[in-house]
Amino acid sequence: MIPIGEALAVVMAEVRPLEAQKVPLGEADGRILAEEVRAAFDVPGFANSQMDGFGVRAADLAGAMEDAPVRLRVVGTVAAGGPYAGVVERGTAVRIMTGAPIPAGVDAVVPIEEVRTEGEEVEMRAASTVGRFVRGAGEDIAKGEAVLVRGRLLRPADVGLLASLGFAHVPVVRRPRVAILGTGDELVALGEPLGPGQIHDSNAYTLAAAVREAGGEAFRMGIVRDDRASLHAALAEAASYDAVLSTGGVSVGDFDHVKDVMDEIGLRRRFWRVAQKPGKPITFAAHEGCLYFGLPGNPVSAMVCFVLYVAPALRAALGRSEVYAPSISVRAGEDIRTARELTELVRCTLRAQDDGLVACPTGSQSSGVLRSLSLADALLISPPGRSGFTAGEAGTALRIRAEVSPSAANPFA
Ligand code: AMP
Ligand code: MG
């Protein structure tokens, strides 16, 4: 039995980076950028107006005051998109719209709310400064500037930046292809009736969803019976994937054949059993570019192992620099008892209080109770040598919800 940290280091050392592929920009959100992106041109590409108003020469307005206005002759109009052919000479102004290119001669924009128009003339009642309400070329992004780093998870605003830079396609890292196998004679596919002693294969669905959340592509390969020949065939078929997740059959029961079959195939298993609860009987091998995770069958154990080992490995294969579940400081919301001889991960909700986050167990910590994981925001870490927490005691927890939860409270109400 090895500690979690050691098992995790073994897994991470076997991760190989995946190659890049080009995808249309419209499909790039949620993907990982494979190369640094630099701007091929300035954004905006030209100086333009930040306001609807009048383009002027700031020097013309020197000395303009409420009771000593300056009058300028309006010589034309420039709309967004439309160039203005002429030069704005001294003593004149152009009507200009937001986003319209700044004509030659103009060096400031006076918003329409600040002037009075009279026929072909406009009256200015205050001085201006050069550059006022003018967005300079390259103000958002300068040509040659590094805009997005390699390994970045592309979010909506990033996609917009890439669009403004003219990228119709972007290089992203190929998604890892992950095969998922459920093992067990008691398992029945969804849609089929349950006989006595039978259960639905829920792990395949939990894990497929988790794979997608981590950025991978999930392939449910179906249910494998608890016999060596079936396991042999299934593992051999899965070898072409980037990773294989099997669940069940890795413990010490009479029908737990996964370890033996992995060994027979020649997958060099790197560990079996980690000093953790839940998820102790996990085994792992890496062979010819494929990572094999023999996850325990208990639904919570399988998912906790996914969070601890599989998700970081998938993120690393995707070239992300941040791969681990974030650890946070919390206080126990109640007395909690844990197993002293290993690292126990307690499923908890998190509640924000004035003096920090409070973690409360979500109910039964049995490794078969998936509901307590479904309710959990975090896993409170109880390291070896610790037999629990008293209410209020400080600890560390892993956040296991990837998304930022929307709030029920309207922040502007
Ligand atoms: P095992 O590790 O094969 O002994 O399985 C441990 C427990 O997890 C048993 O109660 C199994 O019935 C259950 N189990 C195994 N595989 C799955 C699965 N794919 N979906 C739901 N429960 C499972
Ligand atoms: Mg089994």
Q: Per-residue pLDDT for 51 more than 80? A: yes
Task: Choose one of 115, 135, 155: the last residue of a domain.
Answer: 135
The finding on whether 246 has its CB within 6 A of some atom of ligand 1 is no
pLDDT in tens, 94-147: 999 999 999 999 999 999 999 999 999 999 999 999 999 999 999 989 999 999
Q: List helix spans (H) across 87-202.
A: 156-164
The finding on whether 247 has its CB within 6 A of some atom of ligand 1 is yes
Residue 301 CA, ligand 1 centroid: distance in Å: 10
CATH of the domain at 78: 2.170.190.11
Residue 294 CA, ligand 1 centroid: distance in Å: 12
Identify which of 185, 199, 254, 303 to mutate to test ligand 1's pocket (most ligand atoms within 8 A of the CB): 199
CA distance 34 to 51: 38
Determine how many CB atoms are found less than 10 A away from the CB of residue 130.
Answer: 10
Domain range for 156:
20-43+139-173
Residue 407 lies in a domain: no
Identify whether residues 191 and 297 lie together within a single domain: yes
| Confidence band of 64 (pLDDT split at 50, 70, 90) | very high
Identify whether residues 55 and 28 lie together within a single domain: no
The finding on whether 186 has its CB within 6 A of some atom of ligand 1 is yes
Q: Per-residue pLDDT for 247 more than 90? A: yes
Determine how many CB atoms are found less than 10 A away from the CB of residue 16.
Answer: 13
Dmax over Cα atoms in the chain, in whole Å? 99
On whether the CB atoms of residues 231 and 248 are closer than 8 A, the answer is no
Mean pLDDT of 350-357: 93
Predicted local distance difference test score (pLDDT) of residue 401: 84
Task: Choose one of 112, 135, 158: the last residue of a domain.
Answer: 135
Identify whether residues 282 and 198 lie together within a single domain: yes
Residue 209 CA, ligand 2 centroid: distance in Å: 22
Q: Per-residue pLDDT for 362 more than 80? A: yes
Predicted local distance difference test score (pLDDT) of residue 178: 98
Task: Choose one of 317, 348, 375: the last residue of a domain.
Answer: 317
Residue 184 lies in a domain: yes
Identify whether residues 345 and 304 lie together within a single domain: no
Sign of CA dihedral 250, 251, 253, 259: positive
The finding on whether 253 has its CB within 6 A of some atom of ligand 1 is yes
Identify whether residues 185 and 307 lie together within a single domain: yes
- β-strand partners of 320: none
Residue 413 lies in a domain: no
C-alpha 327: how far from chain center: 16
Predicted local distance difference test score (pLDDT) of residue 382: 98
Identify whether residues 162 and 274 lie together within a single domain: no
Predicted local distance difference test score (pLDDT) of residue 239: 96
Hey, what are 222's tokens?
């179906």
Identify whether residues 222 and 335 lie together within a single domain: no
Residue 94 lies in a domain: yes
Residue 221 CA, ligand 2 centroid: distance in Å: 17
Residue 125 lies in a domain: yes
CA distance 384 to 128: 69
Q: Any idea how long the chain is?
A: 413
Place of tokens 């993120």: 315
Mean pLDDT estimate for the chain: 96
Of ligand 1's atoms, which has the minimum distance to the CA of residue 226?
A: 3
DSSP 367: T
Mean pLDDT of 273-298: 97
Mean pLDDT of 195-224: 97
Residue 224 CA, ligand 2 centroid: distance in Å: 10
Identify whether residues 29 and 150 lie together within a single domain: yes
Identify whether residues 165 and 203 lie together within a single domain: no
Predicted local distance difference test score (pLDDT) of residue 405: 78
Mean pLDDT of 182-201: 97
The finding on whether 249 has its CB within 6 A of some atom of ligand 1 is yes
Identify whether residues 282 and 169 lie together within a single domain: no
Number of domain units in the chain = 4
The finding on whether 202 has its CB within 6 A of some atom of ligand 1 is yes
CATH of the domain at 338: 2.40.340.10
Residue 405 lies in a domain: no
The finding on whether 205 has its CB within 6 A of some atom of ligand 1 is no
Identify whether residues 92 and 223 lie together within a single domain: no
Residues with CB in 5 Å of ion ligand 2? 184, 248-249, 297
CATH of the domain at 162: 3.90.105.10
Q: Compute the C-alpha angle 153/154/160, nearest 5°.
A: 160
Residue 285 lies in a domain: yes
**Percent share of the chain, pLDDT over 70:** 100
Q: Per-residue pLDDT for 403 more than 80? A: no
Nearest alpha carbon to residue 307 among 325, 293, 280: 325
Q: Whose CA is nearest to atom 5 of ligand 1?
A: 297
Give 83 or 349, the one with higher predicted confidence. Answer: 349
The finding on whether 188 has its CB within 6 A of some atom of ligand 1 is no
CATH of the domain at 301: 3.40.980.10
Torsion of CA 206, 211, 213, 217, to 10 degrees: -120
Predicted local distance difference test score (pLDDT) of residue 321: 87
pLDDT in tens, 309-337: 999 999 999 999 899 999 999 999 999 99
Identify whether residues 228 and 291 lie together within a single domain: yes
Predicted local distance difference test score (pLDDT) of residue 367: 85
Residue 409 lies in a domain: no
Residue 249 CA, ligand 1 centroid: distance in Å: 8
pLDDT in tens, 164-190: 999 999 999 999 999 999 999 999 999
Residue 141 CA, ligand 2 centroid: distance in Å: 57
Q: CA dist 157 to 28, 29, 148, 160, 323, Å?
A: 12, 9, 11, 5, 22
Mean pLDDT of 232-251: 97
Of ligand 1's atoms, which has the minimum distance to the CA of residue 183?
A: 16
On whether the CB atoms of residues 206 and 370 are closer than 8 A, the answer is yes
